[in-house]
Structure 1
């Protein structure tokens, strides 16, 4: 199994697989390192915004959820276990909305069998389960829904993506939906919105030569505003080069409503490290910032579990409750075996989504790959009226 959480030692062999644009092993970003002390990490220069694009918040009504059926080439001996996790998540979501499982040719029958009759299986070549990052980012507008293809490149060519790199284009073709092309390389796990014009992003996952060489923060900021119809982008520093995603925002900070942000914070006994410093930097920046409508942010801590009490003990295990998914009528979040922390997280989510059922799931194999429920799901919003 190839992990997403840490930089892959397997990156070097992938260079021989004919991947286009692979960066040399051990390359480091030449742009986008943390800004100077006191930097707001915001760019408020006037840009010509696109009024015909709305990037919906996840709590707005969905048509359906897309997921992807993982394959043996990526997961190896852990395939059966991770497929159990994916099927479990899919079955839970089907209680509230339709789930479409993308499965490679020849894998459809197994996906149908494990996920059950409530899940629709769509034949489409995929490599891995991370549909949050491979499925297009959907935007609403007067012309209906369109999909932004952010040119998935295996998180900076760290993992093979011969199929996953084409998922966005192929799915939009299958849906008969217009495709918006862009020179920007990004993943939806690096984009968090309140649905009212505010976007949270980590610099490390975008202002990085493994995605967008030569592009400045100002260029990326203006591009995201135009593509997604947002008017305010808040750029957290993130963490460079310590996991395959370069620190996606969806495991750091998530909106529960406009102006309200759940922040991933270290659990009991956690060391002071780059990840804890990233959390504190995000807190500081949010405290000093306003959203697109001038509101101050209410920051709610969502502590990680005590790592000495969880089931997953390897370094790659992603034990972040912030990687939850908001479905129609439900919130799905992981639980890790630290009963006190699991219950605390469920209570916090229930407080902030009072009209939804909070469902906690064991997803240890997904987590061992460095991801969570949010990473494995991607919502399709309803068409704006």
Structure 2
């Protein structure tokens, strides 16, 4: 995702000079939240919350449970992407068509022209709908998180997306969570905090992790303490233990989402991507700090967390300072793992082997999606899985 501050979040690269942001233009023309959405307090429109009461506990499960489908959003706005739009559309189409080899894909497009374009570029295996309008492509952050109760019951919870702290237009994106839930015919409620799907990682077994910089931030949760945010994240996700890492505020649009650097593989096991040894920028220090904290942490079951190290690429094809060279921003699908490659053959292959070992029995497909990664996000950021009942 692009950076309104002119800096970005490279994992395996030194930052280049500051450049104008594609998203800075949107803030300047005053495109913001839809009427009635929150900008950082706690006054959210509440629905019935199905994790309260006497019914079975609902839980957001980890990414590798069986999926009903993957949700995506078609990039359509030149006001957001400028001259990058065509290349980013090509990458999103490639991701969607690849995922469709493994499971159904629903692509949301905002108008008739975008629907026709998405259908042509994605191919017949991808279902494209104009029933859910969006501003941008980052479905991980605008979609609801889906929960299951272990008895076939499901619901969806919106995290009150506010444009990553009012940094980008989100008139339609702010309503996407409720619209997706309605399309899927699932009960919907809203959390009591502002966040994004990429800001919280869960093992589906009682443990979640996040950066303080993203959630404990006045641009999202001005009136809440860290303890209050933690309690609400645990309630929504059906978890018992929260692992915090500090993160970095104000250097990228997400304020350092954890899903670029650290990911749960299964209960008790995480992956962390580390930069080359000679890097000492803020992102390199952040990755090493996440590795150190998670290596000392225990989960909700009292297990010492096992940390799998993934080395970022030494070289990449892109020279864009917003480029995100993260192998860990992958998307797990039914029977597969969809990840990025960067043209560093040795590191690309090492990452592929690590993912194959972490997800045995799944095909690891590595894609060149450099145009998307130059926008500050990746494959995981552009997708959201909906679990089977």
TM-score, length of structure 2 as denominator length: 0.87
Q: CA deviation at 1:149?
A: 0.7
The separation in 2 between residues aligned to 1:356 and 1:113, in whole angstroms, is 28
The separation in 1 between residues aligned to 2:283 and 2:95, in whole angstroms, is 27
Note if contact 1:190-1:249 (Cα within 8 Å) is conserved in structure 2. yes
RMSD (CA atoms): 2.3
| Residue 347 (structure 2) pairs with residue 341 (structure 1) | yes
Aligned to 2:103: 97
SS at match of 1:167: helix
The separation in 2 between residues aligned to 1:88 and 1:240, in whole angstroms, is 32
| Residue 82 (structure 2) pairs with residue 76 (structure 1) | yes
Q: CA deviation at 1:143?
A: 7.2
The separation in 1 between residues aligned to 2:368 and 2:146, in whole angstroms, is 29
Aligned to 2:271: 262
Aligned to 1:54: 59
Aligned to 1:356: 362
Q: CA deviation at 1:139?
A: 0.9
The separation in 1 between residues aligned to 2:334 and 2:25, in whole angstroms, is 42
Aligned to 1:25: none
Q: CA deviation at 1:93?
A: 0.7
Q: CA deviation at 1:287?
A: 2.4
Decide whether aligned partners of structure 1 residues 327 and 214 sit closer, same or farther in structure 2, where only a CA change above 3 A counts: same
Aligned to 1:40: none
Q: CA deviation at 1:321?
A: 0.5
| Residue 91 (structure 2) pairs with residue 85 (structure 1) | yes
Aligned to 2:118: 111
Aligned to 2:338: 332
Note if contact 1:291-1:297 (Cα within 8 Å) is conserved in structure 2. yes
TM-score, length of structure 1 as denominator length: 0.88
| Residue 190 (structure 2) pairs with residue 181 (structure 1) | yes
Equivalent of residue 253 in structure 1, options 255, 262, 269: 262
Aligned to 2:43: none
Superimposed CA distance per residue, residues 68-120 of structure 1 (whole angstroms, 9 cap, x where no aligned partner)? 00012211211111111001011111111000101112211111111111001
Note if contact 2:26-2:80 (Cα within 8 Å) is conserved in structure 1. no
Note if contact 1:127-1:164 (Cα within 8 Å) is conserved in structure 2. yes
Q: Which segment drifts farther, 143-152 or 220-229? A: 143-152
Superimposed CA distance per residue, residues 205-246 of structure 1 (whole angstroms, 9 cap, x where no aligned partner)? 100011100211110111011111101110111111111011
Q: CA deviation at 1:146?
A: 1.0
Superimposed CA distance per residue, residues 334-364 of structure 1 (whole angstroms, 9 cap, x where no aligned partner)? 0011111111111111111111000000000
Task: For structure 1, list consecutive stretches of 5 or more residues without a partner in the other structure.
Answer: 22-28, 30-47
| Residue 204 (structure 2) pairs with residue 195 (structure 1) | yes
Note if contact 2:26-2:168 (Cα within 8 Å) is conserved in structure 1. no
Q: CA deviation at 1:171?
A: 1.5
Decide whether aligned partners of structure 1 residues 50 and 185 sit closer, same or farther in structure 2, where only a CA change above 3 A counts: farther
Which segments of structure 1 move beyond 4 Å, counting only runs of 4 or more?
1-5, 7-10, 48-51
Q: CA deviation at 1:310?
A: 1.1
Decide whether aligned partners of structure 1 residues 143 and 351 sit closer, same or farther in structure 2, where only a CA change above 3 A counts: closer
| Residue 30 (structure 2) pairs with residue 17 (structure 1) | yes
Equivalent of residue 148 in structure 1, options 143, 157, 160: 157
Q: Which segment drifts farther, 133-142 or 216-225? A: 133-142
Superimposed CA distance per residue, residues 43-85 of structure 1 (whole angstroms, 9 cap, x where no aligned partner)? xxxxx99952111110111000001000122112111111110
Q: CA deviation at 1:13?
A: 5.7
Task: For structure 2, list consecutive stretches of 5 or more residues without a partner in the other structure.
Answer: 9-19, 35-39, 41-52
The separation in 2 between residues aligned to 1:12 and 1:117, in whole angstroms, is 35
Equivalent of residue 320 in structure 1, options 326, 330, 333: 326
The separation in 2 between residues aligned to 1:372 and 1:200, in whole angstroms, is 19
